[in-house]
Structures are given as C-alpha cells and as structure tokens.
Structure 1
Amino acid sequence: MHRRHFLHTALALPAAAWAGNAMPVQPAAEEPFIINAGVGGNNTVDLLARIEKDCLSHKPDFTILMIGTNDMNSRKHIPLPEFEQNLRKIIRMITGSGSQVLLMTILPGYEPYLFTRHPKEFYEPEGYQSRLMKVNATIKHVAEELKLHFLDLHHIFDKVGNVGEEAGSLIQNVANSNKNDGIHPTPDGYRTIAVAVYEKLISVNAPYRRLVCFGDSITNGGGGVEGNSYPAQLKKLLGY
C-alpha cells in the first residue's frame, strides 16, 4: 500500500481501533447460534403474526421451517389454499431478509389417537390421510417452485418411525410416553429429526452460523435449545 494512502486510511479509523497496537484490531468473529422459535399450537396465521419478533429480528442466514400440523389437525384448521398462501408469504418474508430456507414436510400421525381429539368428521370430506398427503404435497411443490432446500421428514418417519402403539414408535404413545398423543415425537424421534436436518445442512454447504428453527410445538419440543427438542439436538451436532 502507498504510504500516503495508508496514513490517510489509518487516520480515518477511530482511536479505539488501534488499541495500542501497530495495526488496527480486527473485530471478533460472531459466535454461531441457534434459536428455537417453536410455539405450541401455532398455525401459519400465528407464524405470520410473530415472524418479525421471533425470526427476522435474529437476522438468520438460515431458517428451518416446519409448519402445517395445526393448520390441518387442530381447531385452528386452515383450508389448503389459504395455508399455501400463508406459507408463501412466510417464505417470502424470510428469504427477503437474506436468509436461506429449509422447508420440511409434517410428520405422520396415528389415527386412532387423533380421533380421540377430533371426530372423524373433522377430516371430511377427504379424510385424515388424504388431507395429510395434500398438505405435504403442497409443501413439496412450494419448495420446488421457489427452489428452497427441502427435507421430507414425513417419508423418514413413515418408513422407519414405527408409528403406532409399540414402544419403539418415534411418535408418542401410551407404551413409550404414557400418552395417547399420536402426533408429537419421542426423544428418539427428535434425535431422528436433528440428524436428518444436520445431514441436510452439511450436504447443501450453505451458511448457517445464525440459525432459526421456526414452527409449532414439534419445533418447540419442550422449549429452548437444551433437552430433547430437535433444535437442542441439532445444537449438539453443530457444536454450538
């Protein structure tokens, strides 16, 4: 560097930047972090209401988005066209902030337990399985059209999750959790999600030092980034 140019640059720096050294002090690298932004009972309307505070304010470079279980299963049911519209808006806001998105399908549920929460008529006219397939097909279509990272968690749990009433089910039941739940993962289920997400993050070679997991109770998993939630297990795998 030309001496005059160097002196001009140096004089332009604040005194604190020198800190008594011969050269300016480089700012410390930002510590990586992972945020568990899952809230139980949320549907896409709820995520839109809190997206600024719970997601965008953290300035993520990567956001893991899993939503749709309450849109299709709960009393906060959202018809499929509105669900897709809300999902696209959520994604548009996240990507517009500069974050990449990993979009995940929702998990299979165990129908006999679900029907203790809602009568079969709640799922009419298509029925539970058909509604679930349509929601996940919509999620996959949106991911492909918008060229997002995509992870088919439903396929993983459907094939190896042993979803049912056996103790080895990755979805909570009476045998493994003393609950006729049928929708939320067991600790092993959360670890399964975390491993699948971790492998996806590594494979896409995307930046994920500022990572937000955005979703409902399946993301929350008990809250925070400690314990059994998939964000907590993912934190361990990433070494954050």
Structure 2
Amino acid sequence: MSKRVGVRKYLLAISSFLVVACSSNSRQVKVINAGIPGNNSEELLNRIRTGFPLPIPDIAIIMVGTNDMLNTGKMLTYHDYEHNLKLLVAYFQRKGSKVILASPPPIDSIYLFERHDKKDFLQSPNVKLDSVREKARQVSAALKTGFVDVFKEFKNKKIPDHNRDIFIQNPINTGQRDGVHPTAEGARLIARLIAGYIQDNGLCRSGCSIYCLGDSITYGKGLKGEGSTNGETYPAFLSRLLH
C-alpha cells in the first residue's frame, strides 16, 4: 500500500472524527486511527508539526519505532529515536493531552530478512525493538506519561512463534510472509492491553477523544478496515472495548 493511499484514508478518518466531535448529542468515546504506513518517529513528528488537525485529543497514544529500527530505508539511531519521542510527548502535553507510550511488538525476523538485508543489522531485530521498549519506558518515566509494554506482553506469551502463533502475520494464519504486522488477533491483544491501562487508571470519561498515532501497525496493514476504526485494526478494537 502506498503512503499516499495511507494519508488519504487518514484524512478521511479525520473528517469523520470531526463530524462526530461536533455533535453535542454524542458522548461516546471517540477514537481515531492516525497510523500512517512507513512512518518512523521523525516522520510522525514532522506530520504533527505541519498541520495536526483540531481538536487536540484528550489522549494521544503513540506507538512508533518499528521503522526506526527495522526499515533499512528509515533507520535512526537510538539517540535520535529517543529525542523524537520526547518531542512528540512534549507537543501533546503542551496542548493539554494525556500521553500514553506503547512499545511496538516483537517480530519474526525470518520473514523480515526476506525484505531487508540482514547485513544492515548490527543487532538482531528484536534486540533493537527491546532497546526501543526501554527507551520508551525511560521517556515515559521522565515525562510522566502512561506506558503500555506491548513488547514485553507479547514476549511473555512467546509471540511470535514462527509459523505457529495466530498474532503476527505469517503464511499459516494469513497466507502472508510478513512477520511484522499483527493479525486481527494480534491487534485485538494490543487493544486489550491499552484499554486495560486506560480503564485501570481512569483516563477516559464519557465523550473523551483518543488519537492512536503510529505506523502501519496502528494503521492495521492487511486487516479489514485498515486505516480506520472499523474492522480489525487495533484502534477499532480499542474503540469497541472502551464503548
């Protein structure tokens, strides 16, 4: 899927969100899928700096880092990733949003290396993602945000399990030699973890607005309703759980 298609769906979702937000009769939780395929933390930061739509959400959920670490055309250093993450958090906190950082899930490197040259990796992909998890945890502690450790929860459940699990797209569960993007069950698990955190901490009352920011994992690449809060994306499951 092209980046242009992703942006177009994102703008359509924004328009739908604004219509709902302007309705005085709507007191449901409002969730918007603001994931763009291919975004790393630098691109996400540039995106919000150059015209992030109003209204600013009550809660901004940021899950970014997979492209920073694994996309050989988008790789950044740990230092640059951490710097961008701090700026992302600061942007939303200045606007009055509560921020939740979520660590990206682990991946099946066997399929990743079919698309990206293994020689470009000085560390294994999941070691890099574990480092991203730790950076996000540190930023969360320093800037007093929420933190949902998706990476740790997946690893504790031994996900991914090559060609066996139902949570990360592979030839057995979806017919895709993917290894990176969650299946519908993977998206559901991410949504349950984030919804649990929001509910346990009383962060979202009736009528609150939530933006799910990130890359193709948030977007829901390959899932029904990709780029929206319908179907099988994690923002879609999150919306239903919070309603």
Q: With structure 2 as the length reference, what TM-score do the two structures score?
A: 0.82
Is 1:158 the counterpart of 2:162 in the alignment? Answer: no
2: CA distance between counterparts of 1:79 and 1:52? Answer: 21
- Is 1:173 the counterpart of 2:157? The answer is no
Amino acid aligned to 2:136: I
Aligned AA (1:223): G
After TM superposition, where is structure 1 displaced by more than 4 Å over at least 4 residues in a row? Answer: 27-30, 52-56
Q: Which moved more, 1:205-214 or 1:38-47?
A: 205-214
Q: Which of the numbers 131, 134, 145 marks the counterpart of 2:142?
A: 145
User: 1:131 offset after TM fit, Å?
Assistant: 1.8
Q: Secondary structure at the match of 1:234?
A: helix
Match of 1:235 among 229, 236, 239: 239
Deviates more, 1:85-94 or 1:199-208: 199-208
Residue of structure 1 in register with 2:117 after alignment? 119
Deviation at 1:217, TM superposition (A): 0.6
Identify which range, 127-136 or 159-168, moves more after superposition.
159-168
- Name the residue aligned to 1:197: 194
Q: Distance in 2 between matches of 1:153 and 1:56?
A: 27
Q: 1:37-56 to 2 correspondence within 5 Å?
A: 37-52=34-49, 55=52
Unaligned stretches of 5+ residues in structure 2: 1-22, 221-225
8 A contact 2:106–2:159 mirrored in 1: no
Give the C-alpha shift of residue 54 in structure 1: 7.1
Contact 2:60 2:99 in 1 (8 A): yes
Q: Alignment length, in residue pairs?
A: 212
The SS at the match of 1:171 is coil
Query: Counterpart of 1:214 in structure 2: which amino acid?
Result: L
Amino acid at match of 2:202: N
CA drift of 1:164 comes to 2.7
Taking only the aligned residue pairs, the percentage that are identical comes to: 33
Deviation at 1:228, TM superposition (A): 0.5
For residue 109 of structure 1, the aligned residue among 102, 107, 110 is: 107
Paired residues of 1:33 and 1:210 also in contact (CA < 8 A): yes
CA distance in 2 between counterparts of 1:216 and 1:129 reads 17
- Pair 144,56 (structure 1): closer, same or farther in 2 beyond 3 Å: farther
Residue 167 of structure 1 and its aligned partner are, at CA, apart by 4.2
The equivalent residue for 1:220 is: 219
Q: For residue 200 of structure 1, what is the amino acid of its counterpart?
A: Y
- Which residue of 2 is the match for residue 35 of structure 1? 32
RMSD of Structure 2 on Structure 1 (CA): 1.8
Tell me, yes or no, if the aligned pair for 1:170 and 1:186 is still in contact at 8 Å.
yes
**Superposed counterparts of 1:5-154, under 5 Å:** 28=24, 31=27, 32-52=29-49, 55=52, 57-74=54-71, 75-124=73-122, 126-154=123-151
Structure with bigger gyration radius: 1
Output the CA distance in 2 between the equivalents of 1:56 and 1:78: 27
The question of whether the paired residues in 1 share the 8 Å contact of 2:130 and 2:151 is answered with no
Taking structure 1 as the reference length, what is the TM-score of the superposition?
0.83
